[in-house]
Amino acid sequence: MEKETKIMSVRDAIIMAMSEEMRRDENVFLMGEDVGVFGGDFGTSVGMLDEFGKERVRDTPISENAISGAAIGAAMTGMRPIVDVTFMDFVVYMMDNIVNQAAKTRYMYGGKGQIPVVFRCAAGGGVGSAAQHSQSLEAWFTHIPGLKVVAPGTPADVKGILKAAIRDNNPVIFLEYKAQFNMKGEVPLDPEFVLPLGKADIKKEGKDVSVITYGRMLERVMQAAKEVEEAEGVNVEVVDLITLSPLDKDTVLESVKKTGKVLLVNDAHKTGGFIGEVAAMIAESDAFDYLDGRILRLAGEDVPIPYNQTLEAAMIPSVERIKKYILKLVNNR
């Protein structure tokens, strides 16, 4: 029997996931700036105040340090807060609480101090929000043991992974991309549709080259894979990491061994970006012996993200640039 689905946006998938989990568990609540009456800065909590009330959809002062500290304290006492960070850039004000407290408490107390809190971060460019409101900072957090980091790229994955993050007993950094809040796709309506953390997904089977990506870039990689197959006959395998930490190394390495060619794509800055860690992991593994060419990275330029939308578009990997890099690998250029 096929499970019932509905076409909906990423925004609505977020609302559905949070609402289902709040109905399921009275300890789950949402907090952040403008999440109540306003419905969230990006409309990701519209209608939730009416259903759950102000005790469980809590508007906070404009103080990210206070928000993160209160959320972590609530999690320590058995609550399961979801924090709407709004722009991911604002997470810099939360770093001490997240990195020095939330990430380390469970380890330091021998597993007795669980911190089940989700930090929802609206990441990335593409909407003209300029240098201080357009960053993807996931690489910072993958460097910190004790944090889980996820970056889904489809509405269905957004729902399934957000629900898994809320149920997890560890702090989770959840990336949702501003440029994709209106992107639509089929989403399972089953309240128990939950995807596993730490598991990558082969979004497209292929044999000629592996393109490994996550988050916003998945949509562009899928489009590029389709176009090079139609125009050039190149059969691309698309690996969607979904969870960056913990990383599903097995799925990545099996794909590399299968195709022998690897392109890594993300929209964050290239220097120090997460795909560099994936490249190093491949180079240190036995999959390296299967490679028939260089490992290539395609990422955002190492400049502050411009406000001008033409310049902004130029610094983020496009479908055309992804196609160019795929053909460079296939043709050993």
Q: Is 236 left (phi over 0), alpha (psi -120 to 50) or beta?
A: beta
Among 133, 203, 261, 269, the active-site one is: 133
Q: Is 95 helix (H, G, I), strand (E, B) or coil?
A: helix
- Which pairs with CB-CB distance under 8 Å and at least 24 residues apart come from 281-290? 281/247, 281/249, 281/252, 282/252, 282/253, 282/256, 285/249, 285/253, 286/253, 287/253, 287/256, 287/257, 290/256, 290/257, 290/260
- Catalytic site includes residue 143: no
Instruction: Say how far apart CA 207 and CA 202 lie, in whole Å.
Output: 12
Q: Is 153 helix (H, G, I), strand (E, B) or coil?
A: coil
Q: What is the dihedral of CA 212, 119, 106, 55, to 10 degrees?
A: -150
Q: Give catalytic residue positions.
A: 133
